[in-house]
Amino acid sequence: MQLEPLIDFYQNLTPASVADFGSFYSDDAYFKDPFNEVRGLTAIQRIFTHMFTQVTEPRFVITAKVGAGDTAMLVWELGFRTRRLGHKEAMIMRGMSHLRFDAAGKVCFHRDYWDTAEELYMKLPLLGGVLRGLRKALSA
């Protein structure tokens, strides 16, 4: 398991370093998040390349980690600024990644968990107001 180098890779990710995913992920790695489900290194790289076209200044900060055997969990914050939604202030999404490593120590399974409503949709100008109102109406 290459957990520390992988954490460093994510915390320093740039558009150019997306090409280095092969140093950490197997060729047939599986990746799933709330918007994507893909298999293969090229498809995973495409997701992160796309991230850099959708937001500015994305930066992952790993806030907690747990690893045992071939499995790890990373708790993270992704700070960014949107390109299309008119936000000038920085936004932060919080989530967790479940990782499994193959016999060569590379990630073969990566599943991200984060609440799209709380961490993204509620922060949008129009939709956010509707969702915040709905949340207030449904809360105890």
Can you tell me the distance from the alpha carbon of 110 to that of 30, in angstroms, rounded to the nearest whole number? 6
Residue 135: C-alpha distances to residues 68, 90, 91, 113, 123 (Å)? 37, 23, 20, 20, 13
**Which domain does 76 fall in, by range?**
3-114
Task: Determine, yes or no, domain membership for 128.
Answer: no
| pLDDT tens track for 92-127 | 889 999 999 999 999 999 999 987 666 565 566 666
Is the pLDDT at 138 greater than 60? The verdict is yes
What CATH number should be reported for the domain holding residue 28?
3.10.450.50
| Distance of alpha carbon 117 from alpha carbon 3, whole angstroms | 29
Q: pTM score, two decimals? A: 0.82
Using an 8 Å Cβ cutoff, are 44 and 21 in contact? Answer: yes
Cα 85–chain centre separation = 19
Pick from 112, 117, 105: nearest CA to 75: 112
Within-domain flag for 46: yes
Within a domain: residue 78? yes
Q: What's the CA gap between 135 and 131, in Å, rounded?
A: 6
The model's pLDDT over 45-89, given as tens digits with 9 standing for 90+, comes to 999 999 999 888 999 999 999 999 999 999 999 998 876 655 566
